[in-house]
Amino acid sequence: MDWKWLLTASEPRPRYVLLVVIGVVLMMTLTYPIWQPGGRGMAVFVAVASVILSHLSAKFVMRR
């Protein structure tokens, strides 16, 4: 597996950033009932997981 491709930002960067932001906002909105009662720690965990999943999704969308 090409780890460098997976761990770096995609080109063109504005489109990559837009895809990641949309993914994070969507995932944080959908998981609000889960992380809101969990407090600050749960919100941080969900935010990090959302960024990672959005990054991977944007990479695979832009690969096509």
Please report, rounded to a whole number, the percentage of residues in the chain having pLDDT higher than 90.
61
Phi, psi of 10 (to 5 degrees): -85, 165
CB 20 within 8 A of CB 55: yes
Bigger pLDDT: 29 or 16? 29
Residue length of the chain:
64
pLDDT at 13: 84
The single-letter code of the amino acid at 45 is F
How do residues 12-25 score in pLDDT, each as one tens digit?
888 889 999 999 99
Bigger pLDDT: 36 or 10? 36
